[in-house]
Structure 1
Amino acid sequence: MPVSCFLTLILCLVFTQATLAADPVIITEQLVHLRHSGDREWTTFPEQAQVKELFLRFNAKSNPRETVLFLRQQDVKQTWNVELNGKILGKLIRHEQDQHLLLPVPAGAVITGVNELRIYQSGKITPDDISVGEIVLLTEPVSEFLSEAQLSIQVTDKETKQGIPCRITIVDAEGTLVVTSAESNEHQAVRTGVIYTRDGETQFQLPAGEYTVYAGRGFEYGVDQRQLILKKGDQKKIELKIGREVNTSGYVSSDTHIHTLTHSGHGDCSMEERMLTLAGEHIEFPIATDHNKQINYEPLARKLKVRQYFTPVIGNEVTTKWGHFNVFPVREGGPVPDYQLPDWDGIFESILATPHVKAVILNHARDIHSKYRPFDPKNYLSLTGENLDGWRLQANAMEIINSGATQTEVLQLYRDWFGALNRGQFLTPVGCSDSHDVSRYIVGQSRTYIQADDQDSGKIDVNQTIQNFVDGKVLLSYGLLTQIKVNSRYGPGELVPQAKKWDVNLTVSGPSWVTAEQIQLYANGQLICSESIKSAKQGGIKWQGTWKLKQPSHDCFLVAVATGPGVSAPYWQFAKPYQPDSPEFESQVVGSTGAVWIDMDGDGQKTTAYEYAQGLVKQHAEDLKTLFKQLDRYDQAVVMQVASLLRMRGLEPFDPKLTKALRGASNAVQLGFALYGEAWRASQIARRTN
């Protein structure tokens, strides 16, 4: 790969200056693909890396004062050391985005003659495909290198004409995040190429070069941008304007899974920086969930003058050996649930005994922590929502989209949720970020919209909003927003009364920088309608439509899901899964609804597939022929619940008696039992091999 435009400009400028030491040294012009060992992470990487580690020799003169090593890195997730002549200069930044890194080189660290630069993976070796290169040893300290030009930025709201909290992103001509002189303080939170500012204003220095500056404020807002060339000695000011593009009236934006380095001990975001990132991403109802701690954002939010932008809630990520559970509201300084208990019964008893707790969320159920995965096939049968260890899940919500822990298959947790609903677990679906960072994982990138009065973000009714959350009156957003009305009135968390017709009105919205491609409607977890979307390019409504449903034969729930290509732009880039199931991955935006229940039998209750199955099995378990005939009136979800209940009574999926009886059943019933049988077989294999 040729030297980048930015690198070429650096060298042209530096070579024209008198230096106290040797001239700048181009150590390598190439970006090199490294992987220490193991299989490639993603199929987008070559099967074989160029090298396991980067080892370069270069000639230079000794440095009588501090200088700087300039390099470019991509796709870094594990720990990689940068070593010069046997001494560690620093580490690559653990961040997937393409970005520059400046490492100070102490006086005397460079020797006259042959020097050795080594970049290698350290610590526990986990497969990590990275690219690193375009390395230059410069001749001045970092402070001098970054002082060539000055840029002032002002971001205002299009409607109010006033400064607004926002995220500013700065990249070079190749889209690489660049280092600036900006530093975090009470006014701004700063990382490479990223500045969150509480009022839209910032000023900093940076090397001469060609840049693009972006301003945005999370999902609901548009993005403004400016391209500029800065020459040595320039002092420029640019103004950017952003405005709301997505109408979320009647809903407040919430992130129910938020951490800080200050209290959780990992990641990089301090408490002060978290307040600024929440305001900058427009999270109106943040839940503080540091590990086994109950932290109050209120005093610091007021001190930093951002409290008017959100209403904080104290929560706790109850972090156990048997799963993680976000709970709220709780009291600062109040009792903390016992996170050292050995099973779910004890853990949930402790959680539910904690004063004020209303919401209990099962977090990232497909991820492994402490060698345990709640929804591992050996523990959980997704199709029917069965816990195979007999553990009772006493949560009332579960994470469906966690943008800090995405799934390789984006709809996998939806299927898990559908199975749980069919089993009678009324779980509110949750979108969240699980962010511990300023910019690596963006706070609120995935979020939950909760039905609530949103007229004043700083004065949200906490009790009513949490109750609406528990009742399932929510929408999930990971780049899109999907809204649903059944018979022009009923939405998520509500029960639609018996009617003669069933019209489903759907609206898919998103900002101008996101594209929607498909909308799907599920009933009891089965896909019943789907349509391709020719997405509008402007921000706002991407698609609207009304689908007329066939008369349901029994109660069911409806969920709509819209998808499209993931965001790769540097100002809101999606992360890849950190616990992938496959090297194949395609990032997607998602917008989905909570569940709307259809009361087809008119009893005023949400009758689940499991309840229908219980009644059928109780009445006809001894007469399989009649049981299977009765099942023709029900959907696949009920059929699979019947298969589950028969198994629990001793009639396993491949029992000859069951197989013989199924020969006379309809194709739909046979298919339901076959799907359950395959899932059961896979689960048994998983239990034997683990």
Structure 2
Amino acid sequence: MQRFACLMIVCCAAGAALGEPHTIDDRAHHLGDNTLPEWKAFTTPEARSAPLKIDFEAAPNATEFTLKIQHRDLHSPWTVTLNGVSLGQLEKGKDPSFTALPVPANTLVAGSNTLVINSRDKKDDVVIGPVQLLDVSPRKVLNLGRVLVTVNDAAGGHVPARLTIIDAKGQLAKTWYTATEKTAVRPGVVYMLGDQTSIELPAGDYVITATRGMEWSMAKSPMTIESGQTATLPLTIQREVDTTGWIAADTHIHTLTFSGHGDASIDERMITLPGEGVELAVATDHNHHTDYRPYQEKLGVCDHFTPVVGNEVTTKNGHFNAFPLPPSGKENVPDWHQSDWVKLIDDIRAHGAKVVILNHPRWPRDDNNPYGNAGLNRGSGDRESGPTRMPMDAMELVNSCDGRTDPLIMLTDWFALLNHGEKLLAVGTSDSHTVYHHVGQGRTYVPSSTDDPSAIDVDQACKAFTDGRILVSYGIFANATVNGKYTLGQVVPVGNKPVKVSLRVACASWVGPRQAIVYVNGIKVAERTIEPHEGPLDTMLTFEGITPPHDGHLVCAVVGDPVDDQAYWMEHPHTFAATNPIYLDADGDGKYTTPRDTAAKRLADIDTVDQLRAALQKVDDAVAVQMFSLLRERWAGDKRSALDALARSMDQDRPLFARYLQDLSTH
């Protein structure tokens, strides 16, 4: 297919009457890299490469004009510049539509003018055009009216927030003349720092909702916009979840500026972080050490969060978030060409990182992801390839922007690895690349000696990560203690006595937790229904009579309804929270023994299937599966066949055995 560096159109826009549209290009251009015969009805099937360049004649514009661009099938950002002046982006969407962009006064020059429409994504097949220039402002073309919005807390002080604006058709509404250095704006979404913000909208009816992440209430108000008129809208939100002693961390955050994809610039990210209540913000652009501090200072948002320099070390064999790191940009970064996990993470730590996290372990596809490529058995934690130990500190249990990292699915992987003996902790993250996707929606709560978000001790926070004293959150806050005093990461002396688990569950009034579950060694040992509630929820659930037959790791999880509101759109079909493990010492030796090590001890004197069958009566399924896994490494021939037959006889109504055997047959 023939390729062009650009497509140049020369036409004349001078001489039309004031207020009439001047067609500066009357064609519909197919840009991209494919031949699409089905597009023959409205454009050429053959694509030409971006950018689209249109040269046209015009006179200077003493007032603001409007550029109207028709388009369809836009899936990536397409930018528009006129004589080198950025006018904005075309609105994404598959259906035929148009974008009207303001042309500031004095942008046009006498004689030749150049319009350029371009995208970084050269594979995005789109149709652009015709293009018209109108010598009136978009305020007239679109019948705009203005609303002045403020967002306050219960005490009357301004608070950063996200505004979601829905039109009468239930769609996200494009705003006009809203972007400033103190806002981050996308269709239907405006992040603001709380003080009065001017928003212009076409005349009509809207619903405007203010939010500030999962700890705060929602303020929702209907609004009628009248053309040429100005209205005011004060909104009040208040904190509904008490997280005293805990700070909200997001350890997976991107910018277009330094990651090269997504759409949130570094300045916009400084506005979205306070707007979602993120207090510890770890910058993790791909293979880049990003320092937020200069941008924080420039925009005056230092009081809202503590920044941490990090890096999403992006390899062909997985992505790893690492922090803290020196603010060196692209210089002196870990060797992201390294595919051996142990060598890679040793190198990451040599660069200064105290915390290393495996990101989205089941991304990007079923047939290509870190755990799948390693041949992870989701029943036993065995791996066919890769390192003999997991060298990272944690894995993402929640990634709120990756639809594949569903926490209910990832729990299975995590429990299998814990049962296999890995000391692998769980975190929640957002992985937000854009303004629209909520940064901090998936988050990790970290204990802190201060509740001042600008004064968080980063070293203290890192130690909490590696000690396992952290909570995973996706809309719900949950924390647990055992026997009234033992908490995350601690070893509980149990002996042969039952333990009492106390689980605090808290959420905002617009979140609905439904089920609380206690797992020991990944096996559900207790659960409780959480009844619907009015207003915010903060309740303590108690589970008694849990008696482990041997040492075990105890994890609590809470699952809730999805948030059915466009103001807090969620990728996954539920809200969620989980603790990290509390360790149960049932044998009284003063330490925690993993299920795999327990299995090895129980197998010391076992040499026949009959002996194994008797031993299995005294252990839970997690240890039993580890016993089978270890014996499969030792036994061969008839003994291996008898072992497998015994395992198959145990898989009915025993999910862990069924999962172990299923993965054993497929790997």
TM-score of the two chains, using structure 1 as the length reference: 0.78
Instruction: State the 1:72 CA deviation.
Output: 11
Alignment correspondent of 2:68: 68
Q: Deviations over 1:445-471 (max 9, x none)?
A: 110001112421111111111101111
- In 1, distance between residues paired with 2:637 and 2:525? 29
Within the candidate set 317, 324, 330, 1:322 is matched to: 317
Alignment map for 1:373-384 (pairs within 5 Å):
373-376=369-372, 379-384=375-380
- In 2, distance between residues paired with 1:618 and 1:458? 54
CA contact (8 A) 1:90 1:103 kept: no
**1:466 corresponds to 2:462:** yes
**1:394 corresponds to 2:391:** yes
Paired letter, 2:477: L
CA contact (8 A) 1:68 1:142 kept: no
Within the candidate set 158, 180, 183, 1:185 is matched to: 180
Alignment correspondent of 1:288: 283
**1:205 corresponds to 2:205:** no
Alignment correspondent of 2:114: none
**1:606 corresponds to 2:592:** yes
- In 2, distance between residues paired with 1:99 and 1:350? 50
Secondary structure of 1:206's match? strand
Alignment correspondent of 1:677: 661
> In structure 2, do the counterparts of structure 1 residues 472 and 315 end up closer, same or farther at CA, with 3 Å as the change threshold?
same
Within the candidate set 575, 581, 590, 1:595 is matched to: 581
**1:161 corresponds to 2:147:** no
- In 2, distance between residues paired with 1:288 and 1:77? 26
Alignment correspondent of 1:115: none
Paired letter, 1:486: V
CA contact (8 A) 2:256 2:264 kept: yes
- In 2, distance between residues paired with 1:165 and 1:488? 37
> In structure 2, do the counterparts of structure 1 residues 641 and 309 end up closer, same or farther at CA, with 3 Å as the change threshold?
same
CA contact (8 A) 1:288 1:314 kept: yes
- In 2, distance between residues paired with 1:281 and 1:364? 22
Instruction: State the 1:104 CA deviation.
Output: 4.9
- In 2, distance between residues paired with 1:232 and 1:679? 63
**1:276 corresponds to 2:271:** yes
Instruction: State the 1:125 CA deviation.
Output: 8.4
Instruction: State the 1:313 CA deviation.
Output: 1.0
Q: Deviations over 1:70-95 (max 9, x none)?
A: 8999xx8668999xxxxxx9987558
Q: Deviations over 1:536-589 (max 9, x none)?
A: 121232x532111332111111112111222241211113xxxxxxxxxx6111
**1:623 corresponds to 2:595:** no
- In 2, distance between residues paired with 1:652 and 1:268? 58
Alignment correspondent of 2:563: 567
Paired letter, 1:681: S
Alignment correspondent of 2:426: 429
Secondary structure of 2:68's match? strand
CA contact (8 A) 1:448 1:475 kept: yes
Paired letter, 2:583: W
Alignment map for 1:87-98 (pairs within 5 Å):
93=91
Alignment map for 1:617-656 (pairs within 5 Å):
617-620=603-606, 622-651=607-636, 655-656=640-641
Alignment correspondent of 2:642: 657
Q: Deviations over 1:15-65 (max 9, x none)?
A: xxx994489xxxxxxxxxxxx99xxxxxxxxxxxxx9779679xxxxxx98
Instruction: State the 1:669 CA deviation.
Output: 12
- In 1, distance between residues paired with 2:563 and 2:363? 23
Alignment correspondent of 2:507: 510
Alignment correspondent of 1:215: 210
Secondary structure of 2:513's match? coil
Alignment map for 1:117-128 (pairs within 5 Å):
none
Q: Deviations over 1:500-552 (max 9, x none)?
A: 331111222211111112222211111112222212121232x5321113321
- In 2, distance between residues paired with 1:408 and 1:306? 31
Paired letter, 1:617: L
CA contact (8 A) 1:71 1:136 kept: no
> In structure 2, do the counterparts of structure 1 residues 406 and 640 end up closer, same or farther at CA, with 3 Å as the change threshold?
same
CA contact (8 A) 1:322 1:370 kept: no
Within the candidate set 335, 357, 362, 1:338 is matched to: 335
Q: Deviations over 1:317-358 (max 9, x none)?
A: 111111001111111127421111132232122112222x21
- Calculate percent identity across the aligned residue pairs: 35
- In 2, distance between residues paired with 1:472 and 1:451? 11
**1:523 corresponds to 2:520:** yes
Instruction: State the 1:630 CA deviation.
Output: 1.5
- In 2, distance between residues paired with 1:636 and 1:546? 24
- In 2, distance between residues paired with 1:561 and 1:202? 40
CA contact (8 A) 2:66 2:100 kept: no
> In structure 2, do the counterparts of structure 1 residues 395 and 163 end up closer, same or farther at CA, with 3 Å as the change threshold?
same
Instruction: State the 1:433 CA deviation.
Output: 0.6
Residue segments in structure 2 that go unaligned for 5+ positions in a row: 1-16, 23-33, 44-57, 59-64, 81-86, 104-120
> In structure 2, do the counterparts of structure 1 residues 416 and 666 end up closer, same or farther at CA, with 3 Å as the change threshold?
closer
- In 2, distance between residues paired with 1:95 and 1:471? 46
- In 2, distance between residues paired with 1:53 and 1:153? 43
Secondary structure of 1:205's match? strand
Within the candidate set 145, 149, 154, 2:145 is matched to: 149
Secondary structure of 1:308's match? coil
Alignment map for 1:399-548 (pairs within 5 Å):
399-407=396-404, 410-439=407-436, 441-498=437-494, 500-541=497-538, 543-548=539-544
Secondary structure of 1:448's match? strand
- In 2, distance between residues paired with 1:669 and 1:628? 18
Alignment correspondent of 2:112: none
CA RMSD after TM alignment: 3.8
- In 2, distance between residues paired with 1:72 and 1:437? 21
> In structure 2, do the counterparts of structure 1 residues 374 and 666 end up closer, same or farther at CA, with 3 Å as the change threshold?
closer
Instruction: State the 1:396 CA deviation.
Output: 0.9
> In structure 2, do the counterparts of structure 1 residues 410 and 53 end up closer, same or farther at CA, with 3 Å as the change threshold?
farther
> In structure 2, do the counterparts of structure 1 residues 544 and 138 end up closer, same or farther at CA, with 3 Å as the change threshold?
farther
Residue segments in structure 1 that go unaligned for 5+ positions in a row: 1-17, 24-35, 38-50, 58-63, 83-88, 107-121, 576-585, 684-690
Q: Deviations over 1:585-625 (max 9, x none)?
A: x61111111111111122222211011112233432x2332
Instruction: State the 1:177 CA deviation.
Output: 1.3
Secondary structure of 1:598's match? strand
> In structure 2, do the counterparts of structure 1 residues 228 and 662 end up closer, same or farther at CA, with 3 Å as the change threshold?
closer
> In structure 2, do the counterparts of structure 1 residues 52 and 680 end up closer, same or farther at CA, with 3 Å as the change threshold?
farther
Secondary structure of 2:454's match? helix
Paired letter, 2:294: P
Alignment correspondent of 2:54: none
Secondary structure of 2:303's match? helix
In the alignment of these two chains, the number of paired residues is 592
CA contact (8 A) 1:104 1:141 kept: no
> In structure 2, do the counterparts of structure 1 residues 124 and 601 end up closer, same or farther at CA, with 3 Å as the change threshold?
farther
Q: Deviations over 1:398-433 (max 9, x none)?
A: 001101113275411111111111111111211001
Question: Bigger CA drift: 459-468 or 142-151?
Answer: 142-151
Secondary structure of 2:370's match? coil
Secondary structure of 1:381's match? coil
Paired letter, 2:620: D
- In 2, distance between residues paired with 1:555 and 1:100? 62
Alignment correspondent of 2:344: 347
- In 2, distance between residues paired with 1:218 and 1:596? 28
Alignment correspondent of 1:117: none
Instruction: State the 1:99 CA deviation.
Output: 13
CA contact (8 A) 1:69 1:103 kept: yes
Alignment correspondent of 2:52: none
TM-score of the two chains, using structure 2 as the length reference: 0.80
> In structure 2, do the counterparts of structure 1 residues 332 and 488 end up closer, same or farther at CA, with 3 Å as the change threshold?
same
- In 2, distance between residues paired with 1:666 and 1:169? 52
